[in-house]
């Protein structure tokens, strides 16, 4: 019950941030001026002079809240074509700004990694003028199916042993991404899917937190906020 309560509070907070930010940026977008020029291809910030902007088709990102969940994550996006971006993320499990413990039990150390791969399919791009000029090829609402693999070990001080865990999840994510001043990206998302073959070796303990996602029975849930730099 404590795990479910902690899980609910964490993802509720991310959901509130996502809804609030969407409203703020939607209002700002309504007042944006239209540009007089547009390039043939590539992501462009149409709030500026499009003819003077270098095309940017790549992006590196950082999981802003990752350290709150005992890992640090980095991502890479590659623009493949209109409304399609290949997205990958790798996480190093262990670094944290919070203490590691199961409820009231003794603390433990954790180390491992996870990897996420999937396409971002933009279904609701942002326009300066409705149906004509887009802000950016990597800006708007998107749907991202992805596969996540996690592998990590925990060492509880009181037990004196190391437990190995691994997990595989198939997720369906919905998110919103903005390109701010053609210099910084802001990407917020939530996701739901299935946890497959999530297990622990050498222990009967049930693990809920796979760091990139959390499981409740067969279901997997995720949410996050990534800050990035397009180039």
SS3 track for the chain = CHHHHHHHHHHHHHHHHHHHHHHHHHHHHHCCCCCCCCCCCCCCCCCCCHHHCCCCCEEEEEECCHHHHCEEEEEEEEEEECCEEEEEEEEEECCCCCCCECCCCCEEEEEEEEEEEEEEEEEEECEEECCCEECCCCCEEEEEEEEEEEEEEEEECCCCEEEEEEEEEEEEEEEEEEEECCCEEEEEEEEEEEEEEEEEECCCCCCCECCCCEEECCEEEEEEEEEEEEC
pLDDT at residue 51, as a whole number: 47
Check which CATH number belongs to the domain holding 73 and give it. 2.40.160.20
Query: Could you list the pLDDT tens digit for every one of the 231 residues in the chain?
Result: 444 455 555 555 555 555 555 454 444 444 444 444 444 444 444 444 444 556 789 999 999 999 999 999 999 999 998 889 999 999 999 998 876 555 445 567 899 999 999 999 999 887 765 555 666 788 899 999 999 999 999 887 555 578 889 999 999 999 999 988 889 999 999 999 999 876 666 566 778 999 999 999 999 999 999 999 999
pLDDT at residue 129, as a whole number: 59
pLDDT at residue 43, as a whole number: 47
What's the predicted TM-score (pTM) here? 0.72
Count of CB atoms situated within 10 Å of the CB of 67: 14
Which neighbouring-strand residues pair with 152?
A: 112, 165
| Residue ranges making up the domain that contains 146 | 2-230
pLDDT at residue 40, as a whole number: 40
When divided into structural domains, the chain yields a total of 1
């Amino acid at each position: 019950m404590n795990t479910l309560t902690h899980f609910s509070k964490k993802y509720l907070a991310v959901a509130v941030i996502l809804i609030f930010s969407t409203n703020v940026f939607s209002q700002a977008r309504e007042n944006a001026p239209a540009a007089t020029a547009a390039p043939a291809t590539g992501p462009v910030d149409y709030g500026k002079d499009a003819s003077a902007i270098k095309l940017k088709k790549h992006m590196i990102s950082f999981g802003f809240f990752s350290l709150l969940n005992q890992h640090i994550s980095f991502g890479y996006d590659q623009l493949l074509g209109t409304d399609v971006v290949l997205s990958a993320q790798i996480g190093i499990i262990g670094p944290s700004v919070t203490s590691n413990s199961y409820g009231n039990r003794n603390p433990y150390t954790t180390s491992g990694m996870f990897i996420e791969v999937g396409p971002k399919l933009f279904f609701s791009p942002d326009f300066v003028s409705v149906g004509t000029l887009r802000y950016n090829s990597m800006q708007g609402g998107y749907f991202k199916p992805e596969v996540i693999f996690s592998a990590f070990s925990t060492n509880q001080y009181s037990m004196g042993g190391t437990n190995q865990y691994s997990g595989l999840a198939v997720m369906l994510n919905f998110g919103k991404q903005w390109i701010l001043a053609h210099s910084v990206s802001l990407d917020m998302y939530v996701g739901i899917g299935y946890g497959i073959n999530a297990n622990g070796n050498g222990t009967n303990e049930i693990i809920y937190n796979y760091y990139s996602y959390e499981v409740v029975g067969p279901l997997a849930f995720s949410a996050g906020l990534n800050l990035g730099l397009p180039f």
